[in-house]
Structure 1
Amino acid sequence: MPRTARKKVANGIYHIICNSISDTNLFRDQEDKERYLETLQRYKQQYGFEIYSLTLMDTHVHILLDTRGADISAIMKSINISYVQYYNRRHGRKGGLFAGRFKSILINEQSHLYEASLYIHRNSKDLPKWKKCIEKYPYSSLGIFLGLREDTRNLINVDYLMRLFGGNINIARKIYAKKIQLDERIKYELEYLLVEDNKAEYRSERIVYNRNITPDIIVEIICKHTNIDAKYLFTKNNSEGNKLRAILVMLLRKYSGYNLREICEFLGNISQPTASYLSTHGLKYINNTEYEDIINEIKEKCSH
């Protein structure tokens, strides 16, 4: 029986659910969960998506993910393949880990957005150790939402969703805590936090990028801001173009929506493993302020 086509939109927000195969934990220990978060962090930077809520369970994952114009299938394929490769290598196994395709529920209304977030955060109540203190579960974004824990990985966009509960941080936290039906002890902790943040406000707008900027335009922008001849971006093993070539590959994946095969066809002289290697290094280079003007101009051209 053929699979049902996945419902996708260019700027969709999705509740993503990934389940492991039967009799196999998706995460065997804390190290596995940390690695999954690292993987999310890396591909968040590569694709430019946002995560609004997150909970990692032993056998499955819930993610509230805003594609911001990127392809949801490409995002999840990259994340899942990377994690499975790590998992099999670490645990000395072979074969698949995820039970079929990931499940994606398209969020069509704002009310569904916060309902999905509440559902995701309630999941950790099924873990015996955390049943009575779900806000302290380290692999859920709930503690970050309530201001009880810092987002050290800068992984979760709290502002966009919490603004639905009001602009004031403390009011939004109290409303969210009430909706998730936390016990009195947690409400008392939130009252205590009011002293520190009573003037703070949530300010957040959703930004969606067009992911169809042509490769030639990206090449043109890189050359304009670096005064490099375009030929060096297409030539292997040259000191002048190696770093910018890596940046080009990363930008093609992020803003042109190109996969590795298409990047290889565009550049004409590299393999897919090499393209993947360049993309990974390109992510490191773009954090350098030296290339800030390149990124800003491309973002401006892609923004709605």
Structure 2
Amino acid sequence: MPTRRRKESRTGIYHIIVRGINHEKIFQQQREKLYFKSIISNYLQKYKVEVYSYCIMSNHAHFIIRAELQILSLFMAAILAEYASYYNFKHHRNGHVFQNRFTSECIEDERYFWTCLRYIHLNPVKARMVKKPEKYKYSSMAEYMTGMLGLLHENAIELYEQKFSSTEEFTKFHTEQQIGIFKDISSEIELQYREIALLLAKNMFREYQLPLLMQVFEEKRIRKEYIQRLKEILNISIKKANELCTTTMNYVENE
């Protein structure tokens, strides 16, 4: 099957995801995460790329990177090849370490940039690895909070300072709920669907000033509107929207 051509961002900014093959935990150990960071740092000196956000989880990693598309591909190929060599030697194995090529998603506007950055920083919180994103050692959240640059480009700090007046405001921004789906591993995307479905139900509960949240699902007129909104917001089929409605209703009922 021919490789699909990668879409080019008008802004030159991309949300990048790399995944371990077969969901393998390729960054399970602390020294593996640190070594991956060191590889990235070394190649930042060679290639003209700017890192605006990152988070290294156990079986995948997220980045926001600004670069020319051709340079981005060379940069990612270099860091993934070197890490794969290290990982295979360390674990006495052969073969692929990463699942296919890296995934890229174009970031075309400022609003999407910041919501994507927040999503990336909240990955370890959603995985219940930490309670606050700034406590996770292997993401860019701490670099933004302290101003001590590791992988982040200085332009990232400049954008941050233009957007937020204090670290408190930046922290508060990370507590705000959002409706939007970001590329991720399949299990995480399904979790995003469920979180947004619950958030939408709560929004409609307040909008219609209902006595109980369950009435969003029990009252036919409101339920039909809820399903339609799910379909439109998440860009899913009506069948999938109905399934999400049922899942969310069961969750609310059992809470």
- The two structures have a TM-score, normalised by structure 2, of 0.63
SS at match of 2:45: helix
Q: Partner residue of 2:67? A: 67
Q: Partner residue of 1:94? A: 94
When residues 156 and 65 of structure 1 are mapped into structure 2, their CA distance, relative to the original with a 3 A threshold, is same
Q: Partner residue of 1:128? A: 128
Partner Cα distance (1:69, 1:123) in 2: 26
**Aligned 8 A contact 1:52 1:161 in 2:** no
When residues 163 and 98 of structure 1 are mapped into structure 2, their CA distance, relative to the original with a 3 A threshold, is same
Name the aligned partner's letter for residue 33 of structure 1.
K
SS at match of 2:21: coil
2:173 counterpart of 1:179: yes
Partner Cα distance (2:136, 2:73) in 1: 29
Partner Cα distance (1:48, 1:26) in 2: 26
Q: Partner residue of 2:141? A: 142
**Aligned 8 A contact 1:25 1:59 in 2:** yes
Q: Partner residue of 1:159? A: 157
Shift of 1:9: 5.0
User: Unmatched 5+ residue regions in structure 1?
Assistant: 183-304
Name the aligned partner's letter for residue 134 of structure 1.
P
When residues 163 and 70 of structure 1 are mapped into structure 2, their CA distance, relative to the original with a 3 A threshold, is farther
The equivalences for 1:40-119 within 5 A come to 40-67=40-67, 71-119=71-119
Identity %: 30
Shift of 1:29: 0.3
Shift of 1:164: 4.2
Residue deviations 1:61-107 (CA, integer Å, cap 9, x gap): 00011116762111111111011011111111100011111110111
- The two structures have a TM-score, normalised by structure 1, of 0.53
Partner Cα distance (1:73, 1:22) in 2: 22
Choose 1 or 2 for highest CA Rg.
1
**Aligned 8 A contact 2:140 2:152 in 1:** no
Name the aligned partner's letter for residue 137 of structure 1.
Y
SS at match of 1:62: strand
Residue deviations 1:234-253 (CA, integer Å, cap 9, x gap): xxxxxxxxxxxxxxxxxxxx
**Aligned 8 A contact 1:13 1:107 in 2:** yes
Partner Cα distance (1:42, 1:155) in 2: 13
The equivalences for 1:129-278 within 5 A come to 129-130=129-130, 132-147=131-146, 150-151=148-149, 153=150, 155-157=152-154, 158-166=156-164, 171-181=165-175
Shift of 1:172: 4.2
Q: Partner residue of 1:190? A: none
When residues 163 and 88 of structure 1 are mapped into structure 2, their CA distance, relative to the original with a 3 A threshold, is same
Shift of 1:115: 1.4
Partner Cα distance (2:157, 2:12) in 1: 18
Q: Partner residue of 1:34? A: 34
SS at match of 2:6: coil
Shift of 1:163: 3.5
Partner Cα distance (1:4, 1:112) in 2: 24
Partner Cα distance (2:106, 2:77) in 1: 17
Partner Cα distance (1:92, 1:27) in 2: 16
User: Unmatched 5+ residue regions in structure 2?
Assistant: 177-255
Shift of 1:175: 2.6
When residues 89 and 144 of structure 1 are mapped into structure 2, their CA distance, relative to the original with a 3 A threshold, is same
SS at match of 1:104: strand
Name the aligned partner's letter for residue 148 of structure 2.
E
Aligned residue pairs: how many? 175
Shift of 1:11: 6.4
